[in-house]
Structure 1
């Protein structure tokens, strides 16, 4: 005969404390813009696709074994910053990875940006570059500080997410992409 005891534990207690510690770190700078703190945004999803960080997780204890009622997976999301902050990061030594198509890149790009397309133009649509991470590894180390930009910010966010999943640690997404970069009259090469 066995007995079970239900215990309700907030998901925040289960999540990695390193995230909370990293969020408390302060960055000092002479910038008039607040620079991002290096942190990994981790969202935990249960097997129904719901974000369990926003809910309570029920567990049952049976003979000193804790069993969770849901299966979880983690997805890392990059820090996104405005273009002026991205430019300051770039000036401080971060390298610029432009993930637009070669045609978009040749029409204009941030000075000294490295172009590795995240997606390729195929007919009227786009398809993901299957060798993207491998190609990035030929130009960057996994611990390099990288700002990732595209045309509007959507592809760069997806690319930065893939890089974090591949083990890159210093990835920052440029919100607004090259369109915002050029609108703010930041340095470009034609």
Structure 2
């Protein structure tokens, strides 16, 4: 019975560290000048370049392709271009008609969620320890903008803009892979609300 109580106490004390409040949402807006716009063949570029952006880019390409949009990632192009005009030419050469630029903002914080306390007595003396339990929180935000060619080959114009946010708490849900998958889902949700799917 004593072991069962210790196990139960350990589970109850560590649960706040592993899980927490988790929310994801995405809201999309369509430019009224592009009321008939639907995604066709689109290049995806996620910035700033790091492990999380690479995961988000891969998640978006996969999700868009499953929804019938011809999407491809640009990380293999933009990394090796000397400047943006060269990258744009290479993207166009691969058949890209539209470009989605996603800018990520990633914030992390931690707070003491409670204390794991223990005490024991030897003779007439009682000893106690209290170890803080730290809860981790992470916020990932994305601003996704779809650019389409302007009329008569003019400057690119914004057809759709999406804001997506992911808030997570706990060790399990704040990993890079979990955050990337969820922010990609938020962007897809925003594209849905904007009516950008064919």
Structure with max Cα Rg: 2
Q: One fold, TM greater than 0.5?
A: no
Q: TM-score, normalised by structure 2?
A: 0.22
More helix by share: 2
Q: TM-score, normalised by structure 1?
A: 0.23
